[in-house]
Amino acid sequence: MPVARRRYPGRNQRYQHQARSIPINVLVTGVSGFVGSHLAHTLIERGHTVVGLARRGAPGLPEHPRFRFVAADTTRSGSWQHHVAGVDTIVNLAGRSIFGRWTAAVKAEIRESRIRTTRNVIEAVPAGCPVRLISASGAGYFGSRGEDVLAEDEPVGTDFLATLSAEWEAEALRGGAKGLRVAAVRLGVVLAGDGGALAQMIPAFRRFVGGPVGDGRQWFPWIHMDDLVSALVFLADRPELGGAFNLCAPEPVRNRELAAALGRALNRPAVVPAPAFLLRAMLGEFADVLLASQRMVPRRLLQLGFEFDYPDIRAALRAIFGAGAGPERG
């Protein structure tokens, strides 16, 4: 589902004229994470007040009188729940990272960090308050689906991440019975120059050993960080919109196309594949996440008129790395 190329105006410029005239109070769980910290900065820039929850702080969080960080284990009930009262919008991003080898204990922690946090957040909202809840899940909702085009109404998959994502979304949607206005957002792989997936990929390319994963034919759902944050703000500004939203670029790419584009951006070859058997030997069950094919598209966002600054992978990587050289990492 391609869209026309367009100029790239820079971080969130197109929404400045749409900012709410009345500042709102926003609570962000997982604020010290990759997405949470970017979102907090944007909300502050737009004049809103932000309470950020996470187990611990991290470099890069806003230093501003309208930002307050609260150290909290959101999987447990506690005094942090008092901060939920009085907010207008909750963006729920908390959850243990899925990256790494999965054991039964790790999978339980991945699940509980999401389900318990979501349940505790909803329990802390006073009954009848028309709070906006934007709760994350991921492209893993669909499982590995080959060439299928995955809009929001496609059925859920059957593997661990799919089952978890469906359960996570269902937990969030239960907030509707309490009066919350709920949107479940399925995030593609987020690309930015200061962390996330690219931080894991760049060192291999810098050492001339970067390339596709497996046979490289699998579809890779991705989104530039600026577009992701803009989409979250877009939905926060429209509390009447509920249900599931795919937050991904409108032009998914195959893994080998991503590798080629990243190689060009870094002026490195992209010819050394990571064989599937080797990934499975190293990472176990998690390797199937890297080998999964998810041709996810943001149909509902496009229907609502949301415009992407970076709809294609080449433009996104140019914006991240400049004219052709990426940051020196690894």
Q: What digits encode the pLDDT tens for the residues 256-290?
A: 999 999 999 999 988 888 989 888 998 899 999 99
Q: What is the mean pLDDT of residues 101-122?
A: 97
User: pLDDT at position 21, please?
Assistant: 46
Structure tokens at 295: 């041709």
Neighbour tally for 282: CB within 10 Å: 11
The predicted-structure confidence for 191-228, as pLDDT tens digits, reads as follows 999 989 998 889 888 887 789 999 999 999 999 999 99
Lowest mean pLDDT among 1-10, 82-91, 109-118, 238-247: 1-10
Residue 256 corresponds to which amino acid?
Answer: R
Three-class SS of the chain: CCCCCCCCCCCCHHHHHHCCCCCCEEEEECCCCHHHHHHHHHHHHCCCEEEEEECCCCCCCCCCCCEEEEECCCCCCCHHHHHCCCCCEEEECCCCCCCCCCCHHHHHHHHHHHHHHHHHHHHHCCCCCCCEEEEEEEHHHHCCCCCCEECCCCCCCCCHHHHHHHHHHHHHHHHHHHCCEEEEEEECEEEECCEHHHHHHHHHHHCCCCCCECCCCCEECEEEHHHHHHHHHHHHCCCCCCEEEEECCCCCEEHHHHHHHHHHHHCCCCCCCECHHHHHHHHHHHHHHHHCCCEECCHHHHHCCCCCCCCCHHHHHHHHHCCCCCCCCC
Confidence category of residue 3, pLDDT binned at 50, 70, 90: very low
Closest C-alpha to 34, from 270, 155, 260, 192:
192
Q: What is the mean pLDDT of residues 126-152?
A: 95
B/e letters for 3-33, b = 16+ CB within 10 Å, e = fewer, are eeeeebeebbebbeeeeeeeebbbbbbbbbb
Say if residue 132's pLDDT is above 70: yes
Q: What is the mean pLDDT of residues 150-166?
A: 97
Q: What is the mean pLDDT of residues 60-67?
A: 94
Q: What is the mean pLDDT of residues 109-131?
A: 95
Averaged pLDDT score across all residues of the chain: 89
User: pLDDT at position 277, please?
Assistant: 86
Q: What does residue 201 show for φ and ψ, rounded to 5 degrees?
A: -90, -35
- Comparison of pLDDT for 187 and 128, the residue scoring more: 187
Neighbour tally for 126: CB within 10 Å: 11
Confidence category of residue 168, pLDDT binned at 50, 70, 90: very high
Say if residue 7's pLDDT is above 70: no
pTM: 0.90
Distance in angstroms (rounded) separating the CA atoms of residues 210 and 114: 32
Q: What is the mean pLDDT of residues 161-166?
A: 97
Confidence category of residue 182, pLDDT binned at 50, 70, 90: very high
The predicted-structure confidence for 10-60, as pLDDT tens digits, reads as follows 444 444 434 444 778 999 999 999 999 999 999 999 999 999 999 998 888
- Comparison of pLDDT for 4 and 11, the residue scoring more: 11
User: pLDDT at position 8, please?
Assistant: 29
Confidence category of residue 2, pLDDT binned at 50, 70, 90: very low
Domains annotated for the chain, with CATH where assigned, are 24-320 (3.40.50.720)
User: pLDDT at position 18, please?
Assistant: 46
